[in-house]
Structure 1
Amino acid sequence: MLDQNVITETKAEHLLHEYQPGAFFLASPHRVLLAKGICEIVPEADGQNQMETLSGQIAETLRQAKQSGQSRPLVVGAVPFDQVKPARLVVPEEVRWSGPLQFDHEEKEQQAGHTYHIKPVPEPEDYKNGVEQGLARIADGTLSKIVLSRSLHLTSPEPIQTDELLRHLAQHNTHGYTFAADVSSQEETSPRRTLLGASPELLVSRMGTQVVSNPLAGSRPR
Structure 2
Amino acid sequence: MPTVGFLYPGYSAEDDYPTFERMLGNVRLVVRHTLMRTDAHEVNALLDIGGEDVLGEGADALRAQGVDAAVWACTSGSFVFGWDGAEAQVEGVRTASGVPASSTSFAFVNACRALDVRRVAVAATYPRDVASRFVEFLGHVGIEVTSLSYEGIFTAAEVGTLTREQVIDFVAANDHPDAEAVLVPDTALHTADCLEDLETRIGKPVLTANQVTVWEGLRLIGDHSTREGLGTLFRCGDRGTTGVRPS
Q: TM-score, normalised by structure 1?
A: 0.29
Q: Higher helix proportion, which one? A: 2
Greater Cα radius of gyration, structure 1 or 2: 1
Q: Higher strand proportion, which one? A: 1
